[in-house]
Amino acid sequence: MQNSSPPRAPRVLGIAIPSPLRRLFDYFPAGAPPSCGWVPGLRVRVSFGRRQVVGVIIECRDHSELEFSRLKPIDACLDNAPLPADWLWLCHFTARYYQHALGDTLANAMPVLLRQGRPFEARTRERWHATDTTTEHDERLTRAPRQAALLKMLGQHPRGLTSQAIFAQSFTREQLRALEAKRLVQCREETLTQNTMAEGKGLLASPALTLNAEQSAALAVLHEGLERFHPCLLQGVTGSGKTEVYLQLIEAVVAKGRQALVLIPEIGLTPQTLGRFVQRFRVPVVALHSGLTDHERLDAWQAASSGRASIIIGTRSAIFTPLARPGVIIVDEEHDGSFKQQDGLRYHARDLAVMRARHHQIPLVLGSATPSLESLLHAQRGHYRRLTMRQRATRHPPAKLELTDTKARIRRGGLVPPVIDAIGATLDAGHQVLVFINRRGFAPTLACHACGWMAECDHCDARMTLHRHPPMLACHHCDRRRALPDACPDCGSADLRPLGSGTERSEETLGELFPKVPVYRIDRDSTRAKDAMDRMLTEIRRGEPALLVGTQMLAKGHHLPHVTLVVVVNADAGLYASDFRALEHSAQLLEQVAGRAGRAAHPGRVLVQTMHPDDPNLRLLAERGYEALATTLLEERRIAALPPWRYMALLRLESPNEAQLSTMASQSATIMRDHLQQSGLAVDCLGPVPAPMERRQNRYHLQLMLSAQKRSLLHEACAWLVAWLERCPEARRVRWSLDIDPQTL
Ligand code: ADP
Ligand code: ZN
Ligand code: ZN
């Protein structure tokens, strides 16, 4: 039987509230119902404890586990339409997958202003049309000149006008309503299913490049999969022209009236990258990055969810942008660590991109010169279509890494004589040199030459970095600063010396060695001032001989056409680290840095300084390239039963109280292991073990490692552990969090 009476209000609203608790909170509806009725996805303001918070309705039902008399009413409903459905789906998925509280997930995934309760415009737009029967001299308008004028204006626009355009001409909603009541105008809600901006004109503002054979082949495959979930791994060496492939794929998607979402690493989202997208297309492009104000962020969100924007480019959190007409998701540099959030909601934007593309049944491109082992294994197993580009789009092939032994050699500012000679020769030839050193500051630490004392942070298990500009000791983990000591605090000797080299020291030494050539230092310290980076890059791009000293900030994402020599001061950091992913990550970084050499008119050279020139992995990378090393590492991981062959989760526990932490961690481990044994779940539980830096900012860190062959089993074990922790009163004394698919240990 059909019920024709209007829908009755539900008696109970299950509301997700920004809180770490993994449950909904029940309230009852109050006030006028929103025009869409009570539905999931509406934001409401409620009192929660002593606070007022903005939550989201998740369930509308008639029963509650609580007695009705104990339920509170909501204070207000903030929306007249639910938040975008695709966004809600993604939040639900994220909360479930990462076993994070839904309320906190939603709050994390929405712009700050929405979290604070500001209005969110509906995704539809009103467009007003004059109806056919209209005559300008309709007698019903003789005493309403403004209405007559409005009608006349609408008559001149056969495609109608939006409310916005009408109000901009000083007409009012009352006048519109009056005309509507007289049936002289009609309003249609536009769901913005077409791109209204590109109408009439061509899509492209500047012409596409003619693709080379490899690019064409890749694009042809991508074109085949436009109408379905079609995940591809685009593996192309640096300079192979991946971006051009993205641009032409986006063109095809936008031509179909759909939107493209492009995710880029934090460091990669430079004005230069953005410029390539903006200059190519005539359609609206929005960029989401950390430099936006809250209002700009909300605008961008609205532009994406209304369909006004055709191309959305952003860093990690842009994965949570609602899309009116999703057409493709592209993740550039998919291996990059910045796609993983390292605190709070520890999601991986690349992995969510895969789920999202599957949900929307749209193509997905994961692009990289150095794909993660996760993605390589997916490709190997046939989950992703693999597209390879080995040629550079520009003239010269990527330079080989040349390993340079630093053992038992005198060094100046960390550089050995043959490297210094090569730098000199390059500058003499009129080219630029990039010196990559992944440590900012003057030296990694200050040491006493008499007794061996080293400057350590009082609050972390870490050395303090020596800085010269301004002079101080600084801890890069907690930001604590200290004045330079005049004498050793242990033995009183005044013979304190810098140990090792950082960017400041390289800058100084290079300035002494090559006094006629400008040295540009690019790291987090030197680019703090607004525009400092742009100013230096502008000078560098003029192409005069120059020395560029920098951290990965310089090495990633910048096109430096005049650099023909790249020097890696120390390649050894990742070789013998305890984290099983360290080698993969340092190989990716090395390739990326090396990729800066010889991108334009002249071929490049890459000199890599190492104490271990015979290290088999380093040699494999140098002689046969990233892919060969990745294949070996993948096989080693299989034998060692490590990700990506096995799934992993970490329970991270921290507290300023070492004893309390240790008790809690041991208890969790025991309980978990007991449960695994009783339930027979095929999940391993290791630990507790100290985190690699056990003490940080005076807090101690321990962790439990869970791993399994099957993801579902791992998730089952994690869910059980989290439920236990939430019930356990002692667990409240420590801070704990679950990290599913941790990227660092
Ligand atoms: P990647 O992203 O793979 O490192 P880019 O897309 O940045 O490579 O391309 C490297 C350079 O080659 C850019 O300057 C780009 O304009 C140029 N390029 C790319 N494709 C072509 C092409 N088909 N013809 C000419 N130049 C190209
Ligand atoms: Zn001393
Ligand atoms: Zn510290």
pLDDT exceeds 70 at position 132 = no
Ligand lying closest to the C-alpha of residue 207: 1
Annotated binding residue 448: yes
Same domain, 661 and 713: yes
What pLDDT sits at residue 485?
Answer: 94
Cβ atoms of residues 350 and 281 within 8 Å = no
End-to-end CA distance of the chain: 59
What pLDDT sits at residue 639?
Answer: 95
248 in ligand 1 pocket by Cβ < 6 Å? no
Left, alpha or beta for 647 (phi > 0: left; psi -120 to 50: alpha)?
A: beta
Average pLDDT (409-421) is 89
Q: Are strands 72-73 and 25-28 parallel, antiparallel or unpaired?
A: parallel
What pLDDT sits at residue 133?
Answer: 57
Integer Rg of the chain from CA: 30
pLDDT band (50, 70, 90) for residue 2: very low
Mean pLDDT score of the chain: 90
What pLDDT sits at residue 356?
Answer: 98
Find the 203 Cα to ligand 1 centroid distance in Å.
Answer: 21
How many structural domains compose the chain? 5
Q: Whose CA is nearest to atom 20 of ligand 1?
A: 241
What pLDDT sits at residue 148?
Answer: 87
Does residue 464 sit within a domain?
no
**Could you count the other beta carbons within 10 Å of the beta carbon of residue 702?**
25
Same domain, 435 and 580: yes
- Residues of 670-696 as b/e, b for ≥16 C-beta within 10 angstroms? ebbeebbeeeebebbbebbeebeebbb
588 in ligand 1 pocket by Cβ < 6 Å? no
Does residue 670 sit within a domain?
yes
Q: Are strands 185-190 and 125-130 parallel, antiparallel or unpaired?
A: antiparallel
Q: Which among 124, 98, 86 has a CA at the least distance from the CA of 22?
A: 98
pLDDT higher at 67 or 514: 514
Parent domain of 364: 213-389
pLDDT exceeds 70 at position 7 = no
pLDDT in tens, 455-472: 999 999 999 999 988 899
Same domain, 333 and 434: no
Same domain, 154 and 234: no
- Please give the backbone phi and psi of residue 496, each rounded to the nearest 5 degrees, phi first: -95, 130
Q: Whose CA is nearest to atom 23 of ligand 1?
A: 211
Same domain, 542 and 614: yes
Place of tokens 């950390």: 290
- Residues of 117-130 as b/e, b for ≥16 C-beta within 10 angstroms? beebebbebbbbbb
- Select from 638, 665, 681 the last residue of a domain: 638
Same domain, 230 and 357: yes
What pLDDT sits at residue 742?
Answer: 95
Same domain, 24 and 70: yes
- Select from 94, 116, 138 the last residue of a domain: 116
Same domain, 268 and 334: yes
Ligand lying closest to the C-alpha of residue 238: 1
Mutation pick for ligand 1 pocket among 394, 593, 596 (CB with most ligand atoms within 8 Å): 394
pLDDT in tens, 272-288: 788 888 889 988 899 98
Same domain, 51 and 75: yes
Does residue 160 sit within a domain?
yes
pLDDT exceeds 60 at position 198 = no
Average pLDDT (302-329) is 95
Find the 691 Cα to ligand 3 centroid distance in Å.
Answer: 15
In three-state form (DSSP H/G/I as H, E/B as E, the rest C), the secondary structure along 652-694 is EEEECCHHHHHHHHHHHHHHHHHHHHHHCCCEEEEEEEEEEEE
Per DSSP, the three-state class of 308 is coil
Q: Are strands 230-236 and 385-389 parallel, antiparallel or unpaired?
A: parallel
364: domain CATH number is 3.40.50.300
Mutation pick for ligand 1 pocket among 235, 237, 244 (CB with most ligand atoms within 8 Å): 244
What pLDDT sits at residue 567?
Answer: 95
26 in ligand 1 pocket by Cβ < 6 Å? no
625 in ligand 1 pocket by Cβ < 6 Å? no
What pLDDT sits at residue 608?
Answer: 95
Find the 697 Cα to ligand 2 centroid distance in Å.
Answer: 25
* Most confident of the following: 229-238, 265-274, 293-302, 554-563: 229-238
pLDDT in tens, 57-85: 999 999 888 888 889 999 999 998 999 99
What pLDDT sits at residue 144?
Answer: 86
Annotated binding residue 491: yes
Find the 419 Cα to ligand 2 centroid distance in Å.
Answer: 33
Per DSSP, the three-state class of 359 is helix
Find the 234 Cα to ligand 1 centroid distance in Å.
Answer: 14
What pLDDT sits at residue 5?
Answer: 54
- Select from 578, 613, 638 the last residue of a domain: 638
Average pLDDT (568-593) is 88
Q: Which atom of ligand 1 is nearest to the CA of 246?
A: 6
Respond yes or no on whether the N-terminal peptide bond of residue 616 is cis (omega within 30° of 0): no
- Residues of 142-162 as b/e, b for ≥16 C-beta within 10 angstroms? eebeebbebbebbbeeeebbe
Annotated binding residue 488: yes
pLDDT exceeds 90 at position 426 = yes
**Could you count the other beta carbons within 10 Å of the beta carbon of residue 414?**
21
Q: Which atom of ligand 1 is nearest to the CA of 394?
A: 12
pLDDT exceeds 60 at position 134 = no
Find the 592 Cα to ligand 2 centroid distance in Å.
Answer: 40
What pLDDT sits at residue 414?
Answer: 86
Same domain, 282 and 385: yes
What is the percent of the chain with per-residue pLDDT over 90, rounded to a whole number? 65
What pLDDT sits at residue 177?
Answer: 85
Same domain, 416 and 563: yes
pLDDT higher at 435 or 202: 435
41 in ligand 1 pocket by Cβ < 6 Å? no
617 in ligand 1 pocket by Cβ < 6 Å? no
Q: Which among 373, 276, 293 has a CA at the least distance from the CA of 330?
A: 276
Find the 387 Cα to ligand 1 centroid distance in Å.
Answer: 16
Does residue 244 sit within a domain?
yes
Ligand lying closest to the C-alpha of residue 370: 1
pLDDT exceeds 80 at position 192 = no
What's the rounded Cα separation, in Å, for the pair 585 and 339?
A: 14
What's the rounded Cα separation, in Å, for the pair 54 and 18?
A: 8
680: domain CATH number is 3.30.70.360
Does residue 249 sit within a domain?
yes
pLDDT exceeds 50 at position 266 = yes
pLDDT band (50, 70, 90) for residue 191: low
Question: What is the rounded (10 degree) CA torsion for 177, 178, 181, 184?
Answer: -100
pLDDT in tens, 316-367: 999 999 999 999 999 999 999 999 999 999 999 999 999 999 999 999 999 9
Residues with Cβ within 8 Å of 428's Cβ and at least 6 positions away in sequence, in order, are none
Q: Which atom of ligand 1 is nearest to the CA of 215?
A: 23
Ligand lying closest to the C-alpha of residue 496: 2
pLDDT exceeds 90 at position 427 = yes
Average pLDDT (186-215) is 70
Per DSSP, the three-state class of 40 is coil
Find the 493 Cα to ligand 2 centroid distance in Å.
Answer: 5
pLDDT in tens, 137-182: 567 788 888 888 888 888 888 888 887 778 777 788 788 888 888 8
Does residue 203 sit within a domain?
no
pLDDT exceeds 50 at position 296 = yes
101: domain CATH number is 3.40.1440.60
**Could you count the other beta carbons within 10 Å of the beta carbon of residue 15?**
24
What's the rounded Cα separation, in Å, for the pair 287 and 268?
A: 12
Q: Which two tokens stand for residue 37?
A: 């009725």
Find the 494 Cα to ligand 2 centroid distance in Å.
Answer: 8
pLDDT higher at 374 or 412: 374
Q: Which among 449, 499, 445, 496 has a CA at the least distance from the CA of 474?
A: 445
Annotated binding residue 460: yes
Does residue 736 sit within a domain?
yes
655 in ligand 1 pocket by Cβ < 6 Å? no
Residues with Cβ within 8 Å of 375's Cβ and at least 6 positions away in sequence, in order, are 233, 334, 335, 350, 366, 368, 384
Same domain, 589 and 653: no
What is the percent of the chain with per-residue pLDDT over 70, rounded to a whole number? 95
Q: What pTM was computed for the model?
A: 0.87
pLDDT band (50, 70, 90) for residue 704: very high
Average pLDDT (528-535) is 82
Q: Which two tokens stand for residue 145?
A: 């000149």
pLDDT band (50, 70, 90) for residue 269: confident
What pLDDT sits at residue 168?
Answer: 74
Does residue 476 sit within a domain?
no
212 in ligand 1 pocket by Cβ < 6 Å? yes
